[in-house]
Amino acid sequence: MNLLARTSAVFVKDLLSEIRTRYALNALLMFVITAVAVILFALRGDTPGTIVLAGMFWVVVFFTGMSGLSRIFVSEEERGTALTLQLVAPPGVVYFGKLAFNVLLTLVLVAGVTVVYLVAFPGFIIQTPSIFFVTLLLGSLGLASAATIIAAIVAKAGSRGTLYPVLSFPVVVVLLMTVMNATIKSLDGEPFSTAVVDFVVLISYVMVMTAGSFLLFEFVWKD
């Protein structure tokens, strides 16, 4: 209970900070609008198929996430509060508090991208909502988990801006391929059972990534 309360304190601190500064939310919102506008211009009124729509959906989520999710640790380093955090909380508490906040931020992001897609692309019709929402949930957990540990690594490096997407891509490529596959199935109206294999892959990814990140985090966070 003690560790849970301390973890929730880290989460509440980040949530209140985001509500006050709106740094990550504003960056995410602007990136989504810009990316979707560019895609609309490129399509010139054409109606893309479900494969293209599902692919572009997760491309927007990935690059938008890369622009905002790293803030969770970079801002601590830039403001000089990382040492304060190290002094008051053990690494596990910091990791899970930050992970919880990134999960929330990613869920808000995918919900926002979904709404924008439903409005901007008439062909984006979710025919099997159960597959779509489970994919969004597991995809968000996986993306947040990968983004959190990479953000911690990048925050300690000098060239933060360029490193984040470069380091992230090989780590999330399996996740992206799986969520794109499941999203296509939801847009094509396939039954839920056809996506079970994808969900097993996603659950495994989330578990491995979270456990590995937790073990690695202490070494990344210190020094």
Partner 1 sequence: MVLTAENISKTFNRRTVFREIGFTVGAGQSIAVTGRNGAGKSTLLKILAGLLTPTSGSVRYAVSGSVHSPEDIRAHLGFVSPYLQLYDEFSALENLRLLSRMRSATVASDERCREMLTRFGLWDRCNDQVRTYSSGMKQRLKYVVALLHDPEVLMLDEPGANLDADGIAAVAQIYESSQRRILIVATNDRSEAERCELKIHLGTEVS
> What residue ranges bind partner 1 (CB under 8 A)?
1-3, 5-6, 9-10, 12-13, 16-17, 20-21, 79-81, 83-90, 93, 222-223
How far is it, in rounded angstroms, from Cα 169 to Cα 166?
A: 6
Minimal distance in Å, beta carbon 1 to partner 1?
7
Task: Closer to partner 1 by CB, 80 or 122: give it.
Answer: 80
**Closer Cβ to partner 1, 46 or 223, answer by number:** 223
Hey, what's the torsion of the CAs at 172, 100, 195, 48, to 10 degrees? -60
18 vs 198, beta carbon nearer partner 1:
18
> What is the nearest approach in angstroms of partner 1 to the Cβ of residue 93?
7
Nearest distance, CB of residue 77 and partner 1, angstroms: 11
Residues 6+ apart with CB under 8 A from 127: 186, 187, 188, 189
**Minimal distance in Å, beta carbon 65 to partner 1?**
23
Q: Give me 98's structure tokens.
A: 């930050």
45 torsion bin: left (phi>0), alpha (psi -120 to 50), beta (else): left
Q: Are 3 and 93 in contact (CB under 8 A)?
A: yes
Q: Which helix (H) or strand (E) holds 194?
A: none
Question: Which of 22, 42 has the CB closer to partner 1?
Answer: 22
